[in-house]
Structure 1
Amino acid sequence: MLKLMYQLWAGLSGDKLEKLQEEEQVEKPFIRKQMKIRFPERGRSGKEVVTIKNMGFSYEDKVLFEKANISIGRGEKIAIIGPNGCGKSTLLKLIMGLQSPDNGEVILGEHNVLPNYFEQNQAEALDLEKTVLDTVAEVAEDWRIDDIKGLLGRCNFKADMLDRKVSLLSGGEKARLAFCKFMVTPSTLLVLDEPTNHLDIPSKEMLEEAISEYEGTVITVSHDRYFIKQIVNRVLEVKDGNLEDYNGDYDYYLEKNLDAREKALEREAELEDKSPKAKAKSKMSKAEREARKKQKMQAFQQAKQKSKGLKNSKRWN
């Protein structure tokens, strides 16, 4: 019966369909709209959100930061990048006041700076005795219960899971629940440590869209380069105990950092070689794909040659 309804709906002209609807012979199939999720904001913060002055910090015998300086203003969306173990997550903890610098200062702005922190082990802090719905509802100040259910639904929590205790959830489900809890917490500053871990593609897209429309400040650490490209307008690279500032988006960072551009091109070429199925599904023709591959290789060679030239010039000067 349902199949017939869809066939009629798709095949009938507008006039005939309206007539049948008036006669109650055909019912329009129900199509659920995807609700938009937005981070709740609490007004505007002051212009100065985070200030780091001559900060030094060591972990065990390793110096992570040595006289680091940076200022982060209202509305900036910043990616902190660098190799594993360089101190990216530690920097977020220092900003949040969860750790103290060995010397120097890390200052949150005084006027209405309300941070909302998402850390990698967020799921471990959930109350195991609470239900899925109660976990999110207890921090959702201005959300209707139907909107909370809609958010949980978008993160793959079906109706029969809402009254389930957190202790009965899998690791991935706990991570997604922690993400939902994060999404409803009011703030003017988002601090995110690998937020896309354990998220499926629709949830990642929801997060990207919500951040894009967020008027507050965002500071994120992420290995998901696509996610970073979608949301940031400034890049901070942790390097040799300092913070190198690239006042532009991720493409600007790649343009200015030849080593990073080479690695990005190598990574793209490697992914394409490992994903023949993805290439087969592409809408591009074979000729277009070959042209794109050639273009990438040319860009890679040009970047490599330019990098070599710069190194040689430094060597002889």
Structure 2
Amino acid sequence: MLRLEHIRKIYPTGEVLKDVNWEVKAGERVGLVGVNGAGKSTQMKIIMGEIEATDGEIIRPADLRIAHLTQEFDVVPTRTVREEMWTVFVEANAAQEEINEIQHKMAEPDADLDDLIHKLDRAQRKFEGLDGYRLESNIEKILPEVGFEIEDGDRLVSSFSGGWQMRISLGKILLQDPDILLLDEPTNHLDLETIEWLENYLRGLTTPMVIISHDREFLDRLCTKIVETERGVSTTYLGNYSQYLLQKEENKNAQQSAFERQQKEIAKQQEFVEKFRASATRSTQAKSREKQLEKIERVEAVVSDVRTLKFKFPPAPRGGEEVATITDLTHSYNDKILFLGANLQIERGDRIAFLGPNGCGKSTLLRFITGNEQPEDGSAKFGTHNIIPGYFEQNQAEALDLNKTVMDTIHDEVPDWENREVRTLLGQFLFSGDTVFKKVESLSGGEKARLALAKMLLVPANFLILDEPTNHLDIPAKEMLERSLKEYDGTMAIVSHDRYFISQVANKIVEVRDGELIVYNGDYHYYLEKIEQEKAAEKARLKAEQDAKKKAAKKAKNEAKKANKKKAATR
């Protein structure tokens, strides 16, 4: 259906893609993985025709329809949902506008009705030829499919959250009936509930897909094939993300074993050549083996993985048992109540992940705990005995001084350090060479996240407060952060939409629900089990209620019949 053959891409700054070869067939869901800067988005752009490859070719049918769902949802807030859906039908839209314009002119006092009637007839024929009247029914069908009520079609796009705006974008794409769907970081900025909905929805489609995502759980549940790009070269692995990791490790081990065996054999043959090169009786054999050594196809040693973060959080200073206390917390935003008498005790050793839909107040709660914001009523405060917080803000642009250089950002925090020490720390976070002199304002989202993490290491803390710490980090960087947090011996409060990350680092889940903080004393998998049990119990309760109502209605009906019979008998 679509194949990339020997794709190469060179920018003025250097070669990004060297030799990329992979394909997507009917029914496949391909995950593109690799570190930030590996060229994943470049491959998407080449497929879309937005940029040209330096070399190689894309093999595809001429009439192949490709649709692209980006992480910045392409919607206009002032349109209604139905109007936004209509925008995908460009030609039909133009024909409809022409019809509307002609009809408007026909209402004018001095209108040339004969001429306008002919124009209206032509415009309506054109609209019918574009199947315009069926398109409206297509929109009516797609609305409930992506989760909307029919009446939602008349609401403004701006009245919906980011997650629902993603559904509008997805609906627009599906209306185009694409042959291949390209998804570029589709889960960014979505809450867990919406991510799970998107996952399940996409699994139900038969449309082939190419997916770029740093969400390992998303890749695991969706992908049937993984294409890794490393050092400009692609490698294809069959299966989902977990299977790719296993295959990659097996391939590395097999390659290293083959390399070591070959090196041992080469050394043995070279020893023979050196020993008998000058021998009167065996020099011919020695020369023959030397020629064989020259022709042998060498197995390459396993190249160490691409450079990624290497760091540890400093040991946590000893603090009190009570790390933070939230008491009778009440707070609203505009007309929305976020917290209504919420309570929570955070104790030493807790590694809490706060869950809940976007806008429920998770980040606000962290700001209350740090004292960066004050609640309307109640309190959120640190414990009294030696609690030293370290705070990672969600929006790094606000947390870092944009006018400073990378070097100065660290140096100003530790003025006693020598340049060599600062460079060593920055090197662990992949800032090397002249990149340490870049202004913070010119850094990418991932670079800002790495710099903020580096800054956190400068002061030992015993209570890490992390608001979306994995945003903008690639998968290897996320894995390093997970390892560091697992080794960290302090307390943590985390807000994250990365399910895999949560499952790796949290030992307690707190869900923000209906203004309360619901505590689950276990990890993420324990939380999922409990949620399923709660849903099952609620389902059983509703069924019991319905059965009781039916039983009561039946009883009332029977009693009414008896009463009517009795009444009839006494007449």
TM-score using structure 2 length = 0.41
Any conservation in 2 of the 1:123–1:177 contact (CA below 8 Å)? no
Cα offset, 1:310, TM superposition = 4.2
Residue identity matched to 2:529: E
Equivalence for 2:100:
none
Cα offset, 1:34, TM superposition = 7.5
Q: Secondary structure at the match of 2:471?
A: coil
Pairing of 1:234-313 with structure 2 (within 5 A): 234-258=508-532, 308-313=539-544
Residue identity matched to 2:474: D
Residue identity matched to 2:382: L
Q: Which has the higher contact order (CA 8 A, sep 6+)?
A: 1
Cα offset, 1:157, TM superposition = 2.6
Cα offset, 1:41, TM superposition = 3.5
More deviation, 82-91/149-158: 149-158
User: Is the aligned partner of 1:66 residue 2:297?
Assistant: no
Equivalence for 1:164:
438
The structure with the larger Rg is: 2
Equivalence for 1:188:
462
Equivalence for 2:27:
none
Q: Distance in 1 between matches of 2:373 and 2:540?
A: 43
1:104-152 Cα shifts (integer Å, max 9, x gaps):
2212111110111111112333223332123124436998866754553
More deviation, 147-156/130-139: 147-156
Q: Secondary structure at the match of 2:522?
A: coil
User: Is the aligned partner of 1:12 residue 2:263?
Assistant: yes
Question: Structure 1 pair 152/313, CA: closer, same or farther in 2 (3 Å)?
Answer: farther
Equivalence for 2:397:
123
Cα offset, 1:42, TM superposition = 4.6
Residue identity matched to 1:126: L
Any conservation in 2 of the 1:35–1:150 contact (CA below 8 Å)? no
Any conservation in 1 of the 2:309–2:429 contact (CA below 8 Å)? no
Equivalence for 2:107:
none
Any conservation in 1 of the 2:309–2:430 contact (CA below 8 Å)? no
Question: Structure 1 pair 65/253, CA: closer, same or farther in 2 (3 Å)?
Answer: same
Query: Structure 2: 5+ residue runs without aligned partners?
Result: 1-255, 272-300, 549-571
Q: Secondary structure at the match of 1:191?
A: strand
Any conservation in 2 of the 1:155–1:203 contact (CA below 8 Å)? no
1:51-94 Cα shifts (integer Å, max 9, x gaps):
11111111222211111111010011000000111111110011
Any conservation in 2 of the 1:176–1:198 contact (CA below 8 Å)? no
Kindly, what percent of the aligned residue pairs are identical?
48
Equivalence for 2:327:
53
Q: Distance in 2 between matches of 1:155 and 1:173?
A: 9
Any conservation in 1 of the 2:316–2:488 contact (CA below 8 Å)? no
Q: Distance in 1 between matches of 2:352 and 2:265?
A: 49
Question: Structure 1 pair 8/71, CA: closer, same or farther in 2 (3 Å)?
Answer: closer
Q: Distance in 1 between matches of 2:429 and 2:545?
A: 52
1:172-198 Cα shifts (integer Å, max 9, x gaps):
433332232234432110001111000
User: Is the aligned partner of 1:88 residue 2:380?
Assistant: no
Q: Distance in 1 between matches of 2:477 and 2:543?
A: 47
Any conservation in 2 of the 1:52–1:69 contact (CA below 8 Å)? yes
Q: Distance in 2 between matches of 1:254 and 1:162?
A: 43
Q: Secondary structure at the match of 2:455?
A: helix
Equivalence for 1:226:
500
Query: Structure 1: 5+ residue runs without aligned partners?
Result: 1-5, 21-27, 261-302
- Coordinate RMSD, CA, aligned: 3.5
Number of aligned residues: 261
Any conservation in 1 of the 2:363–2:495 contact (CA below 8 Å)? yes
Cα offset, 1:155, TM superposition = 3.8
Question: Structure 1 pair 153/36, CA: closer, same or farther in 2 (3 Å)?
Answer: closer
Any conservation in 2 of the 1:258–1:307 contact (CA below 8 Å)? no
